[in-house]
Amino acid sequence: MTDETIVAVFDEPAHAEAAKRDLLAAGIPAEAISHYAGSTTEARSASTVAPAQEQGFWSRLLGGEPDHHPSVFDRSVESGSTVLTVRTPAQHVESVGGILERHNPIDLDERAGAYGATQDAPAQDYRSTAAPVATRGEDAASLQLSEERLEVGKRLVNRGTTRVRRYVTEIPVEQQVRLHDETVGIERVPVTDGRPVSEAAFTDRTIEMTESSEEAVVGKTAHVYEEVALRRQEAERVETVRDTVRREDVEVTEAPDTLRTPKKI
């Protein structure tokens, strides 16, 4: 299986150290990680000659000509930056590149432009400042192209609450009822027919009658006149989700001596 070498340049040594720690924590072997920074670089552990003065140093390190001019790496190290390289199987390039990206490596294309360095080979549009370099040999190299895929999930969102509250109101009402009254009247009729006096005459006597009347008596009864219920209703709907995804392409330029039109593959 082909291994690839990913190279990243950090302006802050602490960022490079943090990236190295995360790589080790992710299971990358320590011998697969190389660290080059200033006068204490591992590159000088076996030689006192600075990388900038060693012909083909970066080519030997990366297993082929680097995509960026070697002076980019040389001048970065001379200015205090740290170069971190990781040798990893091809299937782990994405995860290793993601770990390096979390620690803010520089953009090699921007740094090359700032230094005015030209590229010896077509630059990789890897959408990452940690650039993978193939290690198949001096006469073979490869690039991995990545693309994003849209993944749409679902989550439950509270859209509000419907509440029904019962309360009491008083409503004026009226109703007509027929009532019966009894009263006592006094009638005095003169007697002119010569009726004889009875034995009870000239004695005290009282007669009486009772008057009465009806009055309305109010009573109330309660009954159910309506029922209100809440029921949850379910419905399905189709929603179209639109977004953009990134995809890497390559551009091949063949112009050793004459200018040729770039072509995409």
pLDDT tens digit sequence for 6-51: 888 888 889 989 999 999 998 999 998 988 876 544 433 333 333 4
Percentage of the chain surpassing pLDDT 90? 28
Domain parsing of the chain, residue ranges: 3-140
The pLDDT, as a whole number, for residue 148 is 87
Which residue would you say has higher pLDDT here, 226 or 252? 226
**Residue pair 104/12 in contact by the 8 Å Cβ criterion:** yes
**Residue pair 111/86 in contact by the 8 Å Cβ criterion:** no
**Residue pair 139/51 in contact by the 8 Å Cβ criterion:** no
- Give me 9's structure tokens: 């340049």
Q: Looking at the DSSP assignment, which residues form a beta bridge with residue 212?
A: 182
Three-class DSSP category at 247: strand
Three-class DSSP category at 147: strand
Per-residue DSSP letters for 78-128?
HTT-EEEEEEEEGGGHHHHHHHHHTT----HHHHHHHHTPPPSSPPP--SS
The pLDDT, as a whole number, for residue 223 is 94
Ranges 3-7, 116-120, 229-233: which has the least confidence: 116-120
The pLDDT, as a whole number, for residue 120 is 46
Per-residue pLDDT band for 198 (boundaries 50, 70, 90) equals confident
pLDDT digits (tens, 9 = 90+) for 206-243: 999 999 999 999 999 999 999 999 999 999 999 999 99
Does the pLDDT of residue 134 top 80, yes or no?
no
pTM greater than 0.75 (yes/no): no
Strands, E, within the chain: which ranges?
3-10, 33-37, 82-89, 131-134, 181-182, 212-213, 251-252, 263-264
